Amino acid sequence: MDASWHRTWPEMAELHVFDPEGDVLLILERYQEDDLEEPGPPEAAPPLSADILDWPEHEPGPVRYESQAETAGIEVDGLTKPESSAFTFLTRRESKPRVEKVQLQASSKHLILASPTFRTSLGSGTYPEGRTLQVEGNLVIPLPDEDPDAMIILLNIIHGPSSKVPRRVDLNMLSKLAIAVNHRHMHEAVGIWSDTWIENLKRDEGLPSSYTPDALLSWLFIFWVFRKADDFRNVSAILERESDSSLEMEVDTVYIGPYIPVSIIRNIQENRIDVIESMIAVIHDLITKYSGPNILCDHGNEFSW
């Protein structure tokens, strides 16, 4: 085992070393959804146990499980279910994706300098993490909710190896980076890089000019996090002009939705309603003005013969 690997740390998994003498091990999770095994021929399918099947429960009673060779299907809770490739596919696809640990060996000093949230938790003995770091000289921090690929990019930035930092990222990754930056308050540390990512992506793909919830809401959050006021207003204007009362429900259906402050969506909705009410008031005034008995056209005589 490497000399810099502290004896209290877990066994090495997928490891990214940002500082060989780093005293903090961040443990993240990567979900390997694409690695789920595709179904094979029916005869090659392994036996399915009852605990992975989601059939309705019945009244308690004796249940006898026969071998696959004795039955034409699978008996679970007194019901016989035919085994087929489609059935095997569904049960496999419903199984949980494989989770792999991703370990990031980092320097507490770099984390504290770059992130106020790490500074609060690690920079003193106020919190358990800081006390452990002071006493033990090293620390393991589980971060199961952080995206590993976004965190790898951010740690490369704050630890210095700029050659490993991508100059271009797609909208999905930029959204993940914005989430992490906002969560860890790392705006200043990544300021130059975020400008580069945004400008390159705008140049490569352009901004949406019509109502496309996924893209617009992602850009809305990105511009809010990185304080791009003009771009934020432009995207907000599209949402105010082209969305409807279902905007709040659509926010809940997109990946970035839970991270967008409720106040932003509420303001967009309120502005949209204000504009609609103003337009209705103008139309109402015009109807009232021109539906009365008085002739309001000042140039009527010009058209007389």
Mean pLDDT of the 192-201 span = 97
3-class SS of residue 49: coil
> Rounded to 5 degrees, what angle do the CA atoms 78, 79, 85 make?
140
How many Cβ atoms are within 10 Å of 113's Cβ, its own excluded?
13
- The pLDDT value given to residue 82: 45
If one compares 98 and 275, the residue with the highest pLDDT of the two is: 98
d(CA 19, CA 219): 33
Residue 30: is its pLDDT beyond 80? Answer: yes
Q: How confident is the model at residue 192 (pLDDT cuts 50, 70, 90)?
A: very high
Strands 98-106 and 14-17, by their bridges, are parallel
d(CA 29, CA 156): 18
> Residue 30 in contact with residue 148, Cβ under 8 Å?
yes
Residue 70: is its pLDDT beyond 60? Answer: no
If one compares 8 and 250, the residue with the highest pLDDT of the two is: 250
Q: DSSP readout, 62-75?
A: ---PPPTTT-SEEE
**Mean pLDDT for the chain overall:** 79
> Rounded to 5 degrees, what angle do the CA atoms 51, 56, 57 make?
75
Q: How confident is the model at residue 275 (pLDDT cuts 50, 70, 90)?
A: confident
Q: Is the pTM of this model over 0.85?
A: no
Residue 39: is its pLDDT beyond 70? Answer: no
Q: How confident is the model at residue 108 (pLDDT cuts 50, 70, 90)?
A: very high
Mean pLDDT of the 98-108 span = 92
The top-scoring range by mean pLDDT among 13-22, 38-47, 140-149 is 140-149
Q: In sequence order, what are the residues at sequence separation of 6 or more whose Cβ sits closer than 8 angstroms to the Cβ of residue 148?
A: 28, 29, 30, 102, 104
d(CA 162, CA 158): 9
3-class SS of residue 100: strand
- The pLDDT value given to residue 298: 59
The top-scoring range by mean pLDDT among 59-63, 155-159, 278-282 is 155-159
Q: Which residues of 119-154 are buried (b: 16+ CB within 10 A; e: fewer)?
A: bebbbeeeeebbebbeeeebbbbebeebbbbbbbbb
Mean pLDDT of the 136-165 span = 94
- Note the pLDDT tens digit of each residue in 119-146: 999 998 889 999 999 999 999 999 999 9
> Which segment of 57-61, 84-88, 185-189 scores lowest on mean pLDDT?
57-61
If one compares 202 and 51, the residue with the highest pLDDT of the two is: 202
Strands 98-106 and 24-32, by their bridges, are antiparallel
Mean pLDDT of the 223-246 span = 92
CA 28 to chain CA centroid, Å, is 15
